[in-house]
Each structure stands twice: as structure tokens, then as C-alpha cells.
A = this chain, B = another copy of it.
Amino acid sequence: MPLAAVIPEPNKPIELREFPAPDLEPNSAVLAVELSEVCGTDVYLQRGLLDGVPYPLIPGHVSVGRLAKIRGEMLDVEGSAFREGDRVTFLDVHRTCNACWYCLVAKATTRCPQRKVYGITYGAIDGLAGGWAEQVYLKPGTRCIRVEAEPESFMSGGCALPTALHAVERGDIAIGDTVLVLGSGPVGLNVIILALMRGALRVICIGAPKQRLDAAVELGAAAVFNFEEHDEAKRLDWLLTHGRLPDVTIEATGHPDAVVQAMRFTRDAGRVVIVGQYTDHGAVSNEAAFNPHLDLNKKHLDVRGCWGSDFSHFYRAAQLVSDPVRSEPWTRLQPKLSRFGLGQANEALSAVASGEVLKALIDPRMGI
């Protein structure tokens, strides 16, 4: 009976549970998990800060592993059948319906109301539906993607990679642009990689703590600034020492006030992408004082919310890490990963919450 790590209810420690081996429906499969990850959302999940989560729950939305068992047929996007033994990841979003107004008319599939997310809105009641487990049951309709790389390479990006890819796409970066990244967590670091890959002349980053800013520099950031040591006015001064304000700012912080700062920190007629507000942390503070005349209208800004990822972002992410040349930045991140066994999930969560690790992975192969 496969083991899984379970959040029994909000604010309770994670515990290990055995699950019955899944009973495969037609055109479904079992994934033998090689690696899953711990992302900021998992911290909020454990604290009960997300709506619509059916506790108890196996966390872990983005994972990689090998197809251990296939019933019927699982096809890739080229129409080729997967075989048992293939290494794959899968789009954590399931059941995007392709039948509702949002899917078919607005073509805004990340806002489809039918979508369910493995490890977030699928709970333990749905079976092995999260990645912090020896096995994941890939329900019919789950979209798998071949990964032709070591699991560590893919997980260096993890869920932050498709999220960042979507944000960079929304940022519409031109060759020669200066890009500012607010936040130096996994999404911020992936944005740095991808903004450079998209042709930015210079990418600069305001984040914390120092160790993450060091990683930013290693990944190619031209300059970094520690927000813990400098208030908004000093950050703006620092930006101006680099010339005109940035063309594009991508906010990936989790702090509401950073949204207003992102507008202020961007040059007139530039673009701002908001991808750091996945959890409700309340309203912008009085201190931030959002002034629509000065911060938005007069600046002629484009401010773009960026929610979720779709299949194309996962697919291209898998292509990038599977490519010998393009995967290079993620390879550089690999030594910075911290690996935890299923039995160490609580420690993994704490390490992510404190920011002491750059990225924590769950490796069910490590044993308990």
C-alpha cells in the first residue's frame, strides 16, 4: 500500500498514511513519484489560508516520476502513446472543461470554474491525488508530458518554472528591455532566467534574504537590492542609479504593497505583471497609498494579473529542461536544492516558510 504525506486539517502537523493501491479507470495511470516539491502555496495550505481545500489532503502539485502502470491509453500531444517506464510530469490542473464560456469564448482557461488541482483542490478523498506520495493516481484526462532530463533538472524549476514562463509571456519583453523582478523566491529566480532568455538586456532584482539574492546574481541578474535593508524611497533611488526606470516589472513577492511599488518602479508606458498574489494577504496598506493618478493613469501603464499556468507553459517548461543547451541555468540551480523524505515533510515546510532553503523537494525514494 503506497505511502503519502497528509495534512489532516489546517494547522495540524503532516502525518504519513497508507493508501490503497488505486483502482485504475480506463485511460488512467499510476505515477511512481521520483520528486515532488514544497512551494509557498503548500505553506499556506498547511496554515489553512486557501479557500476551497478539501482536508485531509496530500500536498504536492508539480511532480515528476515514471509511469508505473497504464490502463488503456495515455497519449502525448503528438498522439504517441506513453509506455510504462516513461519519465513524465503532468499538468497539475485537471478537468479544464473545454465546454464553458471561459474556456470557449473568453479563451481564459486558467479561469475555468471546473478546474481541479492535484495537491490543492483534490483531497485525500480523491485518492492518491498529490505528489508527496510514493504514487500519484493520474486520473483519465490528466495531461502527461515526457521529461527527457534527470528529475532534479526538471524540479530545479518545479512549479515556479511554468508560473514564471506565463508571467514573462504576459510581460511581453522585447530584446533590449530592462526588467525588474520583485521577489527572489523560486518564481522570482525563474523569472530572472526566463527574462534573460527572452532577450532582456539587463535584469535587476529587489528581494531577500542575501542567499537568494546571491542566487539571483549567479543566474545572471545585473544588480540586486535587499528590500529588508531599504525602504521604498531607497529602492526607488537605487533603481534610478541604473538609469531610466525599468521597461517591465514582474512582481513575485506575496506582499500586497509590492503591487503598488511595482507600478511606481516602472517607467511610463511600461508593463507590470502581478504574479505574486496567489494567496489573500489583505488590502494594500495605508503606507503604500495607491494613487491611481500618479501610479497608473498618468504613467500610461499596463498592469497585468497572471493567474495559473496552462498546458503550454508546462509543455515548454519540460522542453527547456530537456534541452542540453537551454537547461543550463536550471542545472546551475540544482546544487541549491534541499531534499526531504516523505517522513520529513514537516521539516521541509518549516524550511520553506523560513526562507532558509532556496527550494525544498520531497523525494519519496529516500525512504522514511
Contact = CB atoms under 8 A, between A and B. Distances in A.
A247 B101 CA distance: 12
A98 interface: yes
A218 to B, nearest CB: 14
Contacts of A290: 256, 283-284, 290
Contact of A269 (B106, B168, B282, B299): B106
B256 A292 contact: yes
Given A105-B311, A290-B283, A299-B307, A319 B79 contact: no
A315 B105 contact: yes
Contacts of A282: 291
Interface string A289-316: 1111110111111111111101110011
Q: Which of A106, A283, A299, A305 has the most CB of B within 10 A?
A: A305
A268 to B, nearest CB: 4
A365 interface: no
A108 interface: yes
Given A105-B311, A105-B316, 18 more contacts: A77-B100, A77-B105, A78-B244, A101-B244, A104-B312, A110-B269, A165-B175, A175-B320, A201-B326, A256-B293, A268-B307, A277-B293, A280-B291, A284-B284, A299-B307, A300-B308, A303-B303, A303-B305
Nearest to A91: B104
B107 A268 contact: no
Majority DSSP secondary structure for residues of A touching B: loop
| Size bracket, chain A contacts | 35 or more
Contacts of A111: 268-269, 299-300
Contacts of A312: 104-105, 107
A277 B259 contact: no
Contacts of A98: 98
A355 to B, nearest CB: 20
Given A297-B278, A297-B307, A194 B169 contact: no
Interface in A315-359: 315-316, 319-320, 323, 325-326
12 contacts: A99-B143, A102-B268, A104-B311, A104-B315, A108-B269, A111-B269, A168-B175, A201-B316, A276-B297, A300-B306, A301-B304, A302-B305
Interface string A244-273: 100100000000100100000001111000
Interface in A85-130: 98-102, 104-108, 110-111
B315 A293 contact: no
Nearest to A312: B105
Contact of A197 (B75, B199, B308, B310): B199
B99 A320 contact: no
